[in-house]
Structures are given as C-alpha cells and as structure tokens.
C-alpha cells in the first residue's frame, strides 16, 4: 500500500462560515475524516504548515510546500496538497519549477464548496486526488479537480462558482477520473532518479495588463521596483505608440538596466505571436523581449520568478525557452 503525505494549506475546502465570511478553520485530520474510503488504497499522513485563504499565498508559501516535499520525498510515494482555488494554478506552476523531474506525484486539489457544505464537491475532489496519487502512472505536479487531471503548468481557473473550475489551456487534460480510476489521454514517461529541487524565487516580477490609454509613466515604478516584467498585451501582442514612442523608449530603458521582459496576450487561448503585426515587431528594437507564446500567465510569471532567482541575460532567455512540463512549445 502506497504512503501518501497530505499537505493541508487551507482554502474553501477547509473553510467554515463566520461573521466575516468563509474562513479556513478545518484541520487536516477533519478533512481526512470526510474521505474514509482512501484508507483502502493508501496509507495517509498529514501536515498543516498553514491554514489560509489562497488569496494570501505567494512565493514564501510555495517554497515552504516544496521544502516539505523535499524533506519527506524519500519517505512517501506521493503528495496531496489541499489548497484554495483562487491561486491554485499559480502554486501548481511554481511547484512545477521548484520540483522538476519528479517520478512521484504532487497532486493539488481543493473545492468550490466547503467540505461541510451539503452540495460540496470537496469529497469527490479529495478522494480523486488520493486515488490518482496512488496510481502507478502518476508523477510530477498535477491538479485533480472535477474529474480532470491537468498539468500544473497548463492549468487556469476559468470559473468562479461552477465545479469545473479549472481548464487545461491549449493542451489536453492528462487524464480523467471515472469512479476513482484514472483513464489516461496522454501516456507520459516517468522520470528516472531523484528530482531536482530549487530553493528560491524572485518575487520582483510585475504583470502589466495593457488597457487603452495607459500611460508609459508606469515605468517610473517598474524600473525602480522590478527585475522582471510580464506584459499582458492585446491580441497577438504588441505595444501602442499613441503618436509617440513612449512605451518603446521606456521599455528599452527598462531592458538596458539588465532587467527581463516577457510578452504575453490577454487572450486565454492560442497564445501570442509577436511578429504578426508591426506593433509587435517593433518590440524587437527594444532589446531582448521574450515571448510567452502558448504559456499560461501563471506559468510565465512563476517561471520568470524561478529563473530570475539565479540567472540574467542570455542564460535567463535560454532557460525561459527550455520546456518544463510542457509549459512552452
């Protein structure tokens, strides 16, 4: 029987109604008591490093989860992370970069309703997460939610209330769970040996969402505070000139200081194509502007945080374009 470590971090799945609204208050042992059937397929231990709404989770929490997995990697066959849905895709992407080439599964799940709600999706999601984690074909970082198994680098929360909250963006779901059994759409090769763990992230990354009429004066802040910039542009990708070259001039200045910029699109599907239009091609004259292409925003942001914690310039560019868990292709 496989040994699984559950890492409980809070979220809706662990929330109770209070005078201030839903707040994570349910312990890891309470969660486990709601899915007694998993004891038939795996031996579960649990830790609870924090119990937070996922709105409050960021890089230090991602690093803490990765640290727990690294310290316990030799003692368990897999890991289930219970997590709030709002930033689950960011955590899944971050863990995909912090824990690479893992032959053991790291499975994130949560719910749109508290585990104690009458119409909850929590019990199914939690049960599916353990059953997938115990499967011999499971490995790497995945989200298991509403019966879908999604790569950690391809997931995005696309619905705020419905049970099918997560979508796999521009890549098929790896598998579906049917009556507790995973049916694989994609057979992945299981890595050999011990995974590669990383221990730092650079949070000085800013997402600049373009809106019509935005002033280039925003670069006053960006140049002072940021090491990396992800530009969420319109359509296929580009920057406006608004009858002057302010954006191009300020972006060139930003890059000249050894900082890194990545272009992506606000469109959810099909990715960016910087060379399609003149407003995109002009970016080439600004310096080394990287392109996210088909990457999700969550993957682009967390990959840049990972890279900028130890690399700059040409090395950073090479790493950004090197695929990790099918994040870019």
Active site residues: 12
Helix axes 297-307, 88-98, angle to 10 degrees: 40
Q: Which two tokens stand for residue 216?
A: 């280039």
Q: Which two tokens stand for residue 134?
A: 């115990």
> Do the beta carbons of residue 86 and residue 55 sit within 8 Å?
yes
Q: What angle do CA 227, 230, 232 make, to 5 degrees?
A: 155
CA 96 – CA 274 distance, rounded (Å): 26
Q: How far is CA 7 from CA 31, 34, 48, in A?
A: 11, 16, 6
The 3-state DSSP class for residue 184 equals strand
Q: Which residues pair with 8 in a beta bridge?
A: 82
Q: To which H or E segment does residue 288 belong? A: none
Q: What is the CA radius of gyration of the chain?
A: 21
> Do the beta carbons of residue 109 and residue 80 sit within 8 Å?
yes
Q: What phi, psi does 42 have (nearest 5°)?
A: -155, 160
> Do the beta carbons of residue 302 and residue 325 sit within 8 Å?
no
Strand 166-168 vs strand 175-178: parallel, antiparallel, or unpaired? unpaired
């Amino acid at each position: 029987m496989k040994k699984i470590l559950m890492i409980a971090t809070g979220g809706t799945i662990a929330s109770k109604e209070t005078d201030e609204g839903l707040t994570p208050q349910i312990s890891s042992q309470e969660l486990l008591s709601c899915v007694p059937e998993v004891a038939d397929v795996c031996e579960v231990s649990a830790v609870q490093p924090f119990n937070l709404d996922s709105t409050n989770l960021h890089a230090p929490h991602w690093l803490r989860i990765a640290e727990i997995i690294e310290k316990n990697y030799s003692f368990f066959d897999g890991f289930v992370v219970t997590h709030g849905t709002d930033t689950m895709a960011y955590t899944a992407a971050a863990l995909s970069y912090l824990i690479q080439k893992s032959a053991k599964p790291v499975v994130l799940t949560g719910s749109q309703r508290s585990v104690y709600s009458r119409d909850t999706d929590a019990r199914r999601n939690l049960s599916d997460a353990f059953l997938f984690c115990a499967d011999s074909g499971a490995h790497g970082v995945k989200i298991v939610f509403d019966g879908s198994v999604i790569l950690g680098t391809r997931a995005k929360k696309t619905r705020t209330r419905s049970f099918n909250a997560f979508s796999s963006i521009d890549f098929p779901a790896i598998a579906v769970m049917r009556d507790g059994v995973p049916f694989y759409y994609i057979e992945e090769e299981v890595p050999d040996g011990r995974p590669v763990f990383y221990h730092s992230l650079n949070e000085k990354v800013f997402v600049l969402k373009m809106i019509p009429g935005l002033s280039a004066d925003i670069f006053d802040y960006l140049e002072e505070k940021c090491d990396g910039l992800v530009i969420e542009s319109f359509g296929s990708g580009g920057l406006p000139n608004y009858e002057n070259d302010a954006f191009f001039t300020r972006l060139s200045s930003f890059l000249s200081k050894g900082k890194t910029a990545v272009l992506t699109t606000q469109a959810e599907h099909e990715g960016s194509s910087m060379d399609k239009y003149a407003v995109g091609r002009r970016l080439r004259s600004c310096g080394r502007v990287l392109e996210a292409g088909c990457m999700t925003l969550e993957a682009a942001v967390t990959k840049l945080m990972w890279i900028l914690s130890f690399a700059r310039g040409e090395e950073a560019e090479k790493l950004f374009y090197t695929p990790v868990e099918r994040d870019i292709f």
